[in-house]
Amino acid sequence: MVAPVVPTPAPAPKPEIKANPRAAIAAKTLRNDRWWVSPAISFAVLSAFVIYATWAAFDNGNYYVKPYISPFYSPCLAHICGAAHHGNTGVPPHLSIFGAWWAISPAIIILIFPLGFRMTCYYYRRAYYRAFWMSPPACAVAEPHKSYSGETRFPLIMQNIHRYFFFAGLVFNVLLTYDAVVAFVEPRAASYGGGYVGLGSFVLLINAVLLWMYSASCHSCRHIVGGRLKHFSKHPIRFKMWGVVSKLNTRHMQLAWTSLIFVALTDVYVRLAASGALGHGRWI
Amino acid sequence: MTYDLKLRIWRGDAKGGALQDFTVPVDDGEVVLDAVHHVQALRAGDLSVRWNCKAGKCGSCSAEINGRPRLMCMSRLSDFPKDEPITITPMRTFPVIKDLVTDVSFNYVKAAEVLAFTPTAEQPKAPFRMAQVDVERSQEFRKCIECFLCQDVCHVVRDHEENKQAYAGPRFFLRYAELDMHPNDALDRKKLAQEERGLGLCNITKCCTEVCPEHIKITDNAIIPMKERVVDVKYDPIRFLRRKPKAKV
């Protein structure tokens, strides 16, 4: 039986906390280690990804070589995917939900979902609050802002919709897994030497596995599968699932970085293969 | 082996102060608190420092060592280069009393604001029978030694004194999480934590977890689960629509 909730008593008036003087230390930090390295790496890698992903999303070309499709462009929901000239790389699978009027890159339609998932992710929040907003740049290093409202106001209060992006991310994981399976069972374009399994099949597969692991290690996932329970003992299956997700959750940071970098590398691979830069061998 | 260690210790009180240099003989295997005691014994008998167990369990000797919030008794001298001075300052977030001693009463005010464990009238009286898995969940939180390093490092109050009134801090979010996850606690502490205790001010930069000497995963196991529980009751439209209407009293 779930414990019935009793009304929370009105909080007592808060005693005033007097702002007595702190120790007079002028330096913003007395840390003498290289505290700036970690935020600098986050800044560099995230900036590089944003620049690359923006270019790749607007490029609107070289995103498909039968049977490989770039994760930036899957699912392809615009008529333009079938209408565009794809040379000898084949016509990508697509749904013409967005008709001929959609003239720009079809990646723009879908990227808000994986982008939103990562933007609201508890790990990435830590990374970009530190690296970009310097709030704070590192522990015990003073932040430059005069006031601070955290995640209590718009737009940062929107971080609370993370779980919806998580669900949307699951849909994308299913679709990208389907793309990976297709990469193993569909023959390659004849101009690429035919055959079934190539390096790209494994690239798409690894990408899908990493994305599943990143999603499964998500804090919202951990909450949904069992974290919200009050009685673990009364829900043994959800408790076990929570335990598995909790183990993955301890690696959430590593999975966030690995999956982010690999999704870009997957796009690079498909792009190089589609453009012919990798040649036309059976191994591609 | 004995060697001479250079220390820079902040000395002063609420009216002002500055870093003061000392050199004291120390032995291999000693900790920073030992070195501070050597300063007290040999160089500055009026140096104020708060300490008690010297075993990392009382949480008294919190300070900032080379700018990082740490327990002095758990900071081995062998972790620092012998030829570089070690800087020791009081915790920055709290008002200074004298030298390395700060007034941590802010935390006691926040502790008093936590509503006590509240079972419903229908439940059997304590002691409750609880399954081990339910006990284990909160046992991690009970490891807290109240050194208040997490409160000290949290930039919400460290860099913004004005937030102290509204913000309970990571140590007490630990407490709110522990009670909200307790199978027999009947209060709903989610909205309370968000609306009255400033949970939304936390931007989960994990510094509290980094400095915790008990290695409690404050952010991952307490603050983020509480934020998710708050989403359940405040920011989840689907759960809001599915909610049963309140019974008329």
Say yes or no: B50 contacts chain A, CB-CB below 8 A: no
Q: Quote the minimal CA–CA distance from B50 to chain A in Å.
A: 15
Residue appearing with tokens 């979010």: B173
pLDDT of A284: 84
Instruction: Report d(CA A99, CA A107) in Å as an integer.
Output: 14
Say yes or no: A10 contacts chain B, CB-CB below 8 A: no
C-alpha distances out from residue B3 to A124, A212, A229, B106, Å? 45, 54, 55, 39
| Minimum-distance CB partner of A147 among B106, B160, B211 | B160
Which chain B residues are within 8 Å of A125, Cβ to Cβ? 203-204
pLDDT of A1: 45
Instruction: Report d(CA B67, CA A21) in Å as an integer.
Output: 19
Domain ranges of chain A: 37-275
For the cut 80, the answer to whether the pLDDT of residue A194 exceeds it is no
For the cut 50, the answer to whether the pLDDT of residue A25 exceeds it is yes
Say yes or no: A147 contacts chain B, CB-CB below 8 A: yes
For residue B9, give the H/E element and its range.
strand B2-13
For the cut 50, the answer to whether the pLDDT of residue B240 exceeds it is yes
CB contact under 8 A, A31 and B66: yes
- All structural domains of chain B, each given as residue ranges with its CATH number in brackets, are 2-102 (3.10.20.30), 105-248 (1.10.1060.10)
pLDDT of A223: 97
CB pairs under 8 A, 24+ apart, for A235-240?
A239/B133
Which chain B residues are within 8 Å of A219, Cβ to Cβ? 220, 224-225, 228
pLDDT tens column, B84-142: 999 999 999 999 999 999 999 999 999 999 999 998 777 777 677 889 999 999 999 99
Residues 6+ apart with CB under 8 A from A68: A179, A183, A200, A201, A203, A204, A269, A270, A273, A274
Could you give the angle at which helices A199-216 and A252-275 cross, rounded to 10 degrees? 150
Say yes or no: B64 contacts chain A, CB-CB below 8 A: yes
Say yes or no: A29 contacts chain B, CB-CB below 8 A: yes
* B:187-246 residues touching chain A, CB 8 A cutoff: 187-189, 191-192, 196, 198, 200-207, 210-211, 220, 224-225, 227-232, 234-236
Rounded average pLDDT over A266-281: 91
* A:58-77 residues touching chain B, CB 8 A cutoff: none
Rounded average pLDDT over A251-261: 98
What type of residue is A78? A
- Indicate the pLDDT class of residue A96, thresholds 50, 70 and 90: confident
SS3 content of chain B, % helix, strand, coil (to 5): 40, 20, 40
Peptide bond into A75 cis (omega under 30): yes
Task: Count contacts between A and B (CB, < 8 Å).
Answer: 193
DSSP, collapsed to helix, strand or coil, labels residue B31 as strand
- Indicate the pLDDT class of residue B246, thresholds 50, 70 and 90: low
Rounded average pLDDT over A178-202: 88
* Model confidence pTM above 0.90: yes
For the cut 80, the answer to whether the pLDDT of residue A276 exceeds it is yes
DSSP, collapsed to helix, strand or coil, labels residue B3 as strand
For the cut 50, the answer to whether the pLDDT of residue B68 exceeds it is yes
pLDDT of A100: 87
pLDDT of B30: 97
pLDDT of B248: 47
Q: Annotate B187-206 with DSSP letters as a single string.
A: B--HHIIIIIS-GGG-----
pLDDT of A17: 77
pLDDT of B165: 95
Q: Which of these ranges, A12-26, A58-72, B95-109, has the smallest mean pLDDT? A: A12-26
C-alpha distances out from residue A63 to A31, A77, A200, B12, Å? 47, 14, 13, 65
Which chain B residues are within 8 Å of A134, Cβ to Cβ? none
More confident position, A244 or A195? A244
For the cut 50, the answer to whether the pLDDT of residue B249 exceeds it is no
* A:148-207 residues touching chain B, CB 8 A cutoff: 148-152, 156-157, 160-163
For the cut 60, the answer to whether the pLDDT of residue B157 exceeds it is yes
Residue in chain B nearest A147 by alpha carbon: B160
pLDDT tens column, A122-153: 999 999 999 999 999 999 999 999 999 999 99
Q: What is the ipTM of this complex?
A: 0.92
pLDDT tens column, B3-52: 999 999 999 999 999 999 999 999 999 999 999 999 999 999 999 999 99
Say yes or no: B46 contacts chain A, CB-CB below 8 A: no
| Minimum-distance CB partner of A20 among B14, B69, B120 | B14
CB contact under 8 A, A23 and B187: no
- Indicate the pLDDT class of residue A119, thresholds 50, 70 and 90: very high
Residue in chain B nearest A1 by alpha carbon: B183
Q: Quote the minimal CA–CA distance from A266 to chain B in Å.
A: 30
Say yes or no: B20 contacts chain A, CB-CB below 8 A: no
Q: Quick one: DSSP state of residue B213?
A: T
